[in-house]
Structure 1
Amino acid sequence: MTSTPTVPAVPLPARHSAGCPFGPPPAYTEAAASAPLTRGDLPGGDSCWLATGYAEVRTILSDRRFSADIRHPSFPLLVAGDREQITATPSFLNLDDPEHARLRRMVTGDFLVKRVQAMRPDIQRIVDEALDTMTDGRTEADLVADFALPVPSLVICLLLGVPYEDHEFFQGVGRTLLSNASTSEQRLAARDEMLEYLEGLATRKRAEPRDDIISRLAVRDDLTPREVASTGILLLIAGHETTANMISLSTALLLDRPEQIARLADPAALPGAVEELLRHLTIVHTGVARVALEDVELGGTTVRAGEGVIAMLSTANRDEEVFGGADRLPVDELDLDRDARRHLAFGFGVHQCLGQPLARAELQIALATLFRRLPGLRLTVPRDELAFRTESFIYGMRSLPVTW
């Protein structure tokens, strides 16, 4: 086995292609075609491994020999800047067990399938009210601003106990934190601003707790205010940004493939259709970072202890050996009848997305209701004029002009 790269290193994060806005950046696809493990150049000047194959990505995300602890001195950072400051306040997503398990366990119950099922009437009400507002006296709208963002923002605010009237603040902070175009100073200032906001909210809720996540965390004696705020940042930003971008991207993709929209009207087919959308779009296009704690043989290569790895969910989800088949469209095509249940859009292993039951429910309800209520939905601009958020770690759309 060897740690010698056989193909040119990929500059990370790679840029998207205007000609194929719904797929991974071409550099990742080309790397996947050459080998399951290649090299990548990080913004700070360091290099790391780039894992693109399905089997390799699953191993990295589930093998305890790969660490998620962002404080590790060799952890691969996809942003340049002061490492000590960037890694100063990690959420449980960027910690290993037992720290990760201790913090995650405190909020797991709020995202269990049973709890989310009980929330479906509230989600349906939020979706219907958003569509009522969007269509009231109008025949055109920006689906991002008027539907895709408000729906998950309202849902996560309801769950966390964050006042929705502050949504412009936390959405703006989220855009700064998730943008690879932000400077280190901008990102740190935004993080500190959000931590201060959530610590203040937690202090108020400790005095007058209610039935929400922040209240339940705030009254615990085994959590510091900073730990409550760090967990709150992760849940608040991830809880609305990911789902909002999936709603808008899914809508744009389906409007480009109208023959498949009917599958959303079939309650039996709807869950599978959403899994295929998650697989096909895989909006975390920048991948998931880990660092090897010991030598690991992976994809015919030895990853040495202390070497960083970026696990590319998007290319793993287009692995022909896993998602292909003679009776299916190619993996780079949308097929709402495909069995996509093994996709890695939510990650894999102990760090996989905590909120995936909620995201699935929101996507199923939002997309089915949108196309049922607005069967004449269509774009008002050519597809090549759509504006995508190519600078964000969570891929999405700036706007989606539609009419009905």
Structure 2
Amino acid sequence: MSDDPTAAGTTADDTVPDEPPTLPTDRRTGCPFDPPAELTALSDTPIRRMRYADGHLGWLVTGHATARAILADPRFSSRYEFLHLPMPMEGVPGELLPAPVGDIIGLDAPEHTRYRRLLTGKFTVRRMRQLAERVAQFTTECLDAMEQAGPTADLVEAFAQPVPALMICELLGVPYTDRERFQSQVATLFDQTVDIGAKGEAYTALLQYLGELVLAKRAEPTDDLLSDLTTSDLTEEELSGIGGLLLAAGLDTTANMLGLGTFALLSNPDQLQALRADPGLAEQTVEELLRHLSVADPLLRSALEDVEVAGRIIRAGETVTVSVQAANRDPQKFPDPDRLDIHRKATGHLSFGHGAHQCLGQQLARVEMTVAFPALFARFPTLRLAVPPQEVPLRDRANIYGVVSLPVTWDKE
């Protein structure tokens, strides 16, 4: 079937096989960077019926063009309460609740538009690039501490988490005196070994802190995003919620890209050598790692009305699971898609989504990774895994994929 979402097809062809597949999630042993083999095996059909965790009969999209079309179509909703989960998620109820205040990911227009319009001007490419100097400073500080404590480290704890955490502090204007407290709560929130209760307490404490920070910014603004937003018509509750969203969306994804991306480059020495030989390839390397790893997956939408896509009729109320990792490995868009190739022009990948809900902080994430990867490998030319690759613990049951920890070592000079 053609992957052209505008192609005419048998529009009544929404027949259901006897047993539609569920979302494949198990990756092949020894292939931590590749999507599940059962998932990529479905790529010959860009959209197909799929059975959800609660028995809902919805759709799975694996084709790049079809995924892009759905993500850009306002007839598909992002509201959580309309969605069905394709697989059980730890700590997430089977029936989703409406988005909390300030969580623009789970909103549609016009509510989403209001928030988005206020935030878009704060995340311009120019402004994010101005933060590159701070990224470089925080990266150097983390690498200094890592080198002093070495020659072994957990790269996640020493580097991948603190760099984006410090940048979120910078973005929100968290005072230096509060940063240790802030980072401690953040570390608890994203620690895969911590139980749900402790994570809930950490998140509540963070929201309480952000509420206090909002009041402080209103009283005495500083040069940061949160202070800028206090001049808008947003309430304290909305500002705290937006701060929590920026924290969750901007930290976990970037931290896992830094951790898993390092693992991927160490596992592909020819690509790492190419980056070391030409640091000018850093931006291309970041885009290719984003495409190849697709850590934020899947994206969910619900049809608000009957919609025809790629010759199939998606009925109102049906949930669509857009597999970002499958779309980013679509051979019709990316030739030889399973190969990590930092010389590839990976433009058009969907790792930051697409359409009205495309990631606001994508430019900051790009700046962080473009600075951090070359700095890490320049500082530690002999950096390597401290355990066999198969012993690296993976976050394979989370909606943000990555490594739980990444033990590394290097030769001291």
TM-score, L = length of structure 2 = 0.87
Identity %: 42
Question: Does structure 2 retain, via aligned residues, the 8 Å contact 1:276–1:339?
Answer: yes
Is residue 358 of structure 1 aligned with residue 364 of structure 2?
A: yes
In 2: Cα distance, 1:196 partner to 1:47 partner: 39
Is residue 204 of structure 1 aligned with residue 220 of structure 2?
A: no
Is residue 164 of structure 1 aligned with residue 179 of structure 2?
A: yes
How far does the alpha carbon of each residue in 1:4-38 deviate from its partner, in whole angstroms, 9 at most, with x for none?
234843434733333311122334223324x2112
Question: Does structure 2 retain, via aligned residues, the 8 Å contact 1:126–1:151?
Answer: yes
1:147 partner letter: F
In structure 1, the partner of 2:28 is: 17
Question: Does structure 1 retain, via aligned residues, the 8 Å contact 2:160–2:256?
Answer: yes
Cα–Cα, structure 1 residues 269 and 303, in superposed 2: closer, same or farther, change >3 Å?
Answer: same
2:73 partner letter: D
In 2: Cα distance, 1:96 partner to 1:323 partner: 31
In structure 2, the partner of 1:133 is: 145
In 1: Cα distance, 2:202 partner to 2:323 partner: 27
In 1: Cα distance, 2:253 partner to 2:142 partner: 18
More deviation, 191-200/156-165: 191-200
Aligned partner (choices 280, 286, 290) of residue 274 of structure 1: 286
In 2: Cα distance, 1:45 partner to 1:371 partner: 47
Task: Please give the secondary structure, in 1, of the residue aligned with 2:53.
Answer: coil
Matches within 5 A, 1:323-402: 323-324=334-335, 330-402=336-408
1:236 partner letter: L
The runs of 5 or more residues in structure 1 that have no matched partner are 325-329
Question: Does structure 1 retain, via aligned residues, the 8 Å contact 2:188–2:198?
Answer: no
In structure 1, the partner of 2:313 is: 302
How far does the alpha carbon of each residue in 1:29-75 deviate from its partner, in whole angstroms, 9 at most, with x for none?
23324x2112333334433211111011001110111112224xx32
In structure 1, the partner of 2:8 is: none
How far does the alpha carbon of each residue in 1:161-216 deviate from its partner, in whole angstroms, 9 at most, with x for none?
2342111212322457xx9x977x88776655543332232223222222222222
In structure 1, the partner of 2:260 is: 249
Aligned partner (choices 234, 240, 252) of residue 223 of structure 1: 234
Cα–Cα, structure 1 residues 159 and 315, in superposed 2: closer, same or farther, change >3 Å?
Answer: same
How far does the alpha carbon of each residue in 1:100-121 deviate from its partner, in whole angstroms, 9 at most, with x for none?
1211222222321111121111
Task: Please give the secondary structure, in 2, of the residue aligned with 1:309.
Answer: strand
1:67 partner letter: S
Aligned residues, how many?
390
How far does the alpha carbon of each residue in 1:251-293 deviate from its partner, in whole angstroms, 9 at most, with x for none?
11111111111332424322112111110001013x1111111
TM-score, L = length of structure 1 = 0.89
Aligned partner (choices 35, 51, 56) of residue 41 of structure 1: 51
Cα–Cα, structure 1 residues 202 and 395, in superposed 2: closer, same or farther, change >3 Å?
Answer: same
Question: Does structure 1 retain, via aligned residues, the 8 Å contact 2:80–2:97?
Answer: no
In 2: Cα distance, 1:142 partner to 1:373 partner: 16
Task: Please give the secondary structure, in 2, of the residue aligned with 1:64.
Answer: coil
Cα–Cα, structure 1 residues 137 and 323, in superposed 2: closer, same or farther, change >3 Å?
Answer: same
Question: Does structure 1 retain, via aligned residues, the 8 Å contact 2:99–2:107?
Answer: no
More deviation, 243-252/185-194: 185-194
In 2: Cα distance, 1:252 partner to 1:126 partner: 21
Question: Does structure 1 retain, via aligned residues, the 8 Å contact 2:47–2:63?
Answer: yes
RMSD: 2.4
Cα–Cα, structure 1 residues 58 and 175, in superposed 2: closer, same or farther, change >3 Å?
Answer: farther
Task: Please give the secondary structure, in 1, of the residue aligned with 2:42.
Answer: helix
Is residue 144 of structure 1 aligned with residue 159 of structure 2?
A: no
In 2: Cα distance, 1:47 partner to 1:341 partner: 33
In structure 1, the partner of 2:189 is: 173
Question: Does structure 1 retain, via aligned residues, the 8 Å contact 2:288–2:346?
Answer: yes
1:262 partner letter: Q
Cα–Cα, structure 1 residues 98 and 120, in superposed 2: closer, same or farther, change >3 Å?
Answer: same
Cα–Cα, structure 1 residues 30 and 168, in superposed 2: closer, same or farther, change >3 Å?
Answer: farther
The runs of 5 or more residues in structure 2 that have no matched partner are 1-10
Is residue 292 of structure 1 aligned with residue 314 of structure 2?
A: no
More deviation, 188-197/274-283: 188-197
Cα–Cα, structure 1 residues 274 and 84, in superposed 2: closer, same or farther, change >3 Å?
Answer: closer
Aligned partner (choices 99, 111, 115) of residue 99 of structure 1: 111
